[in-house]
Chain A
Amino acid sequence: MNNAAVKGTAGSVKLDQVKKIRSKRWETPVTGYLFLSPWLIGFLLLTLGPMVMSLYYSFTDYSLLAAPNWVGFDNYKQIFTDDDVFPKSLKITITFVLLTVPLRLMFALFIAMLLNRKMKGMSFYRTMVYFPSLIGTSIAVSILWKNIFSRNGFINDFLGIFGIKGPAWIADPKYALGTLIILMVWQFGSSMIIFLAGLKQIPTDLYEASSVDGAGKFRQFISVTLPMLSPIILFNAVQTMINTFQMFTQAFVITNGGPVKSTFVYVMYLYEEAFTKFHMGYASALAWILLVLIGLFAAVLFGTSRYWVFYENQGGKK
């Protein structure tokens, strides 16, 4: 009896403390929003607001100098039916994305697999291979590229050793886009590091089990590595795709869209419309088409993912 009473008081003391903490709870919604406020204000003011405005501008003839006039679907109509540049730059951009993304991911995965061994010197190799990606989109790298792939640049000198007379690369409409693709593929570092981290998470007993079953290296790659890595492949593919669609600096500095507009990628077109011609309305329409386009590509990747992405906690235990 006595004992129980003591227990009771001890319990109520604890309860009091808990209540005290709980009573402070009322301030958490307020506190929460206070902590959240920088992002929330930023989101409303710098993302959602501008998105709404951009959608509105895309239905106007806004030109920064004069007030916007509502023109309905005119901008979109013009883009799709009466614009020579749009289909061309769209085609260039999609070609660019379709070539760059798979190549970059393949290289990233290949090198990540080479680096995923327990050997000395791996961190050294990783640093070397990652280095080009470090200086990523800087203008410095674009200058280097412009130099290397110029008519008398080092690539042509190198080819000259073997008696091959190289093309003019960035001055040749046939090869200019290719040099940009090589640049993007060269900088596969961030995808590679993510692959490497993913490879390290694949349990080694899967490989042991499959090798007991007589699977060779190639078979292991197809039946163990790829399925186990597929969620990360999806992540990298989406990420790279979005970035590649938005490539600007390289095309702007290395080729400036040329020669004969052969590298005039979509974002450059958008930039030209918005900030050299000040066709803000038209550029906004272009921006929304780009958003829908990226959305479509992402939808294809996510939509097909249930056929090729393997999630351990769903299909793993059959």
Chain B
Amino acid sequence: MKTARLYNRFFNHISLLVISLIMMYPIFWWVGASLKTNEEMSSANLFPKVPHWANFSDGWVSTPNFTFTHFYLNTFELVAGILFTSVLACSLVAFAFARLDFPLRNVWFAIMLVTLMLPTQVTVVPQYVMFSKWGWINTYLPFYIPHLLAGGIGGPFFIYLLVQFMRSVPKELDEAAKIDGCSWFGIYWRIMLPLVKPALVTVGIYCFLWNWDDFFGQMLYINSIDHYTINLALKLFIDSQGSVPWGQLLAMSLCSIVPSVVIFFLAQRHFVEGMSAGALKG
């Protein structure tokens, strides 16, 4: 019995190790290939004999007039604005759903849940028409304003997630604050927000990752190079070169995911909790 269990464990570890390796192999390949010259690219060796660091330095300045520093800063500017507006707006709305009593609350909540499943294609054409009429094309407003209105990428999901967390905060805390003469905004700001801080971090992480990755929206609304994000710069890189300089391209795309990877490793716990809470607490 005991040996059987030991054998079982060993088998489990081996299979997981093999699976992890298969899953990660393209990533290792990616790192290796980013250090290869174009001639070495088709060799099956994971890493080149001599790392070709020039892929990174050349790739960084490959776009005429702009460096990747510029695109990086643009992306941070875009995502920082989205993060701030999204977390603020979604937490306000979640507080209304979780704590306040008003007519049609459940109806609105149900509608909000339905919008979670709504494909963006149904709204994208009129939104584009609207934003272009307002002169918002080639600005970051088509990203900031929807997030300020608790929409945009992930909006309804964040509200839902925060509602779940806020409902688990004991109501006695609000009652006590109310007796002490605290306003609803005070309760939201000074009691609720500090208590759901972990959930806010979770929302922030998802908001960052999803908007950092978003390519469709950026391609639609940003069209001059000086406003380009990293994603758009990478696409430009593929399109503008006759024969693809794979090494540089892979090196730069590797650079583009560094912030996501760093955040993932710093905040793994929040990450897993958020995703499971979204599915199970409902």
CA distance A236 to B280 in the complex (A): 11
Within 8 A of A (CB), among B111-142: 111-112, 115, 117-130, 132
Q: Does A131 contact B (CB under 8 A)?
A: yes
Q: Write the B199-236 contact mask toward A (1 if CB under 8 angstroms, else 0).
A: 00000000001101111100010000000000100110
Q: How many residues of B are in contact with the other chain, CB < 8 A? A: 91
CA distance A167 to B19 in the complex (A): 25
Q: Does A114 contact B (CB under 8 A)?
A: yes
Q: Does A206 contact B (CB under 8 A)?
A: no
CA distance A111 to B12 in the complex (A): 11
Total of A-B residue pairs, C-beta within 8 Å: 260
Within 8 A of B (CB), among A283-298: 283-284, 286-288, 290-291, 294, 298
Residue of A nearest to B263 (CB): A134
CA distance A42 to B215 in the complex (A): 22
Contact across chains for B179 and A17 when beta carbons are under 8 A apart: yes
Contact across chains for B19 and A38 when beta carbons are under 8 A apart: no
Residue of A nearest to B96 (CB): A35
Contact across chains for A280 and B125 when beta carbons are under 8 A apart: yes
Taking the nearest CB of chain B, how far is it from the CB of A247, in angstroms?
11
Q: Does B279 contact A (CB under 8 A)?
A: yes
Q: Does A164 contact B (CB under 8 A)?
A: no
Q: Does B15 contact A (CB under 8 A)?
A: yes
Contact across chains for B111 and A129 when beta carbons are under 8 A apart: no
Q: Write the A84-110 contact mask toward B (1 if CB under 8 angstroms, else 0).
A: 000000000000000000000000000
Tell me which residues across on chain A come within 8 A of B89, comparing CB atoms: 38-39, 42
Within 8 A of B (CB), among A178-205: 186, 190, 193-194, 196-198, 201
Tell me which residues across on chain B come within 8 A of A124, comparing CB atoms: 20
Tell me which residues across on chain A come within 8 A of B97, comparing CB atoms: 36
Q: Does B266 contact A (CB under 8 A)?
A: no
Take A148-B29, A190-B275 as given contacts and tell me if A54 and B126 are in contact as well, using a CB distance cutoff of 8 Å: yes
Residue of B nearest to A187 (CB): B23
Binds A, one of B47-55, B62-70, B247-255: B247-255
Contact across chains for B16 and A39 when beta carbons are under 8 A apart: no
CA distance A275 to B126 in the complex (A): 12
Contact across chains for B12 and A117 when beta carbons are under 8 A apart: yes
Residue of A nearest to B8 (CB): A117
Taking the nearest CB of chain B, how far is it from the CB of A293, in angstroms?
9
Contact across chains for A32 and B102 when beta carbons are under 8 A apart: yes
Contact across chains for B121 and A287 when beta carbons are under 8 A apart: yes
Contact across chains for B96 and A140 when beta carbons are under 8 A apart: no
Contact across chains for B102 and A29 when beta carbons are under 8 A apart: yes
Contact across chains for A128 and B24 when beta carbons are under 8 A apart: yes
Residues of B within 8 A of A (CB): 9, 12-13, 15-17, 19-20, 23-24, 26-27, 29-30, 33, 41-44, 89, 92-93, 95-97, 100-103, 105, 108, 111-112, 115, 117-130, 132, 146, 148-151, 155, 159, 175, 178-179, 184, 188, 209-210, 212-216, 220, 231, 234-235, 238, 246, 249-250, 253-254, 256-257, 260-261, 264-265, 268, 272, 275-276, 278-280
Q: List 6 A-B contacts (CB under 8 A).
A: A24-B178, A28-B100, A35-B100, A43-B111, A43-B115, A51-B126
Going nearest first, the 8 A-B pairs with the smallest beta carbon separation are A42-B149, A32-B102, A197-B276, A35-B96, A140-B253, A128-B20, A50-B126, A53-B126
Residues of A within 8 A of B (CB): 17, 21, 24-25, 27-29, 31-33, 35-36, 38-43, 45-47, 49-51, 53-54, 57, 64, 111, 114-115, 117, 119, 121, 123-129, 131-132, 134-141, 143-144, 147-148, 152-154, 157-158, 160-161, 186, 190, 193-194, 196-198, 201, 232, 235-236, 238, 242, 245-246, 248-249, 252-253, 267, 270, 274-275, 280, 283-284, 286-288, 290-291, 294, 298
